[in-house]
A and B are shown apart, each in its own frame.
Chain A
Amino acid sequence: QSGLTQPPSASGTPGQRVTISCSGSKSNIGSHIVNWYQHLPGTAPRLLIHTDNQRPSGVPARFSGSKSGTSASLAISGLQSDDEADYYCAAWDDRQSGHWMFGGGTKLTVL
């Protein structure tokens, strides 16, 4: 079972702003950086946000990340049809001798 909790689905219309939440605990989000990944089935996951709120080069400014306490969020503004994908949060967890933990994933639908 995933230790990071994400809503299974989210949706929005083109141009809208959508946020996806990721809830964890002191042993993961509360103590370590959070990354966000975009994943289209059949392709390689793409790093969207690292270190809570940093965008790698090439990722549009429409994508932003934030963190507060043991929760994190990914915001996508100016929603586009090709944003339709699965989104995962990830954080290191100190339990079980330490391991990377992913959220269960949120399927974003652009209506």
Chain B
Amino acid sequence: QVHLVQSGAEVKKPGASVKVSCKASGYTFSNFGISWVRQAPGQGLVWMGWVSPYNGNTKYAQKLQGRVTMTTDTSTSTAYMELRSLRSDDTAVYFCARVSVAGMDVWGQGTTVIVSS
């Protein structure tokens, strides 16, 4: 069974960085991309970007360009999303999702990131 398990909640100060992990199991990790999506409190889902475990290619949402880096470690089947220069409006639940030809088909449980001084 396909599972994506994310790291635990984080509390960060403005200006700091956060790195969220997403460990995959139940499928061949390098055969599917990983997208990251976030949901701010009371808001909808927003796509952040995508990374290919096969070759490391990435595509980021324009709004986050320069502040976000998505990487993978195929030896541990783990994807990472690092967000820098955190602001209060980065407070959100962050999800990873496997990307197949059908789109984002399996999601992680979410990681809460709170940015507060």
Binding site for B on A (CB under 8 A): 2, 33, 35, 37, 39, 42-47, 50-51, 54, 56, 88, 90, 96-105
Footprint of A on B, CB under 8 Å?
Answer: 4, 35, 37, 44-47, 50, 59, 61-62, 95, 97, 102-110
Instruction: With A35-B103, A50-B102 as known contacts, state yes or no: A102 contacts B45, CB within 8 Å.
Output: yes
Whether B44 lies near A2 (C-beta < 8 A) is yes
Main secondary structure of the interface of B (DSSP, over half): strand
| Cα separation A64 to B6 with both chains bound (whole Å) | 30
A81 to B103, CA, bound (A): 28
Instruction: Tell me if A103 and B102 are in contact (CB < 8 A).
Output: no
Contacts A45-B95, A50-B102; A98 near B59 (Cβ below 8 A): yes
Q: What 6 pairs between A and B have smallest CB-CB spacing?
A: A50-B102, A100-B47, A44-B107, A105-B44, A102-B45, A35-B103
List B contacts of A90 (CB < 8 A): 45, 103-104
Determine whether the beta carbon of B62 is less than 8 Å from that of A96: yes
Q: A57 CA to B103 CA in the complex, in Å?
A: 15
Contact partners of B46 in chain A: CB under 8 A = 102
The answer on a CB contact under 8 Å between B95 and A100 is no
Asked if A100 meets B109 with Cβ closer than 8 Å, knowing A45-B45, A45-B95, A88-B45, the reply is no
> Which residues on A sit within 8 Å (CB–CB) of B108?
44
Which of B45, B95, B106 is within 8 Å of A105, CB to CB? B45
Establish whether residues B102 and A102, one from each chain, have CB atoms under 8 Å apart when the complex forms.
no
Chain B residues, Cβ within 8 Å of A42: 110
Q: In the complex, what's the smallest C-beta–C-beta distance from B53 to chain A, in angstroms?
A: 18
Q: Which residues of A contact B102 (CB under 8 A)?
A: 33, 35, 47, 50-51, 54, 56
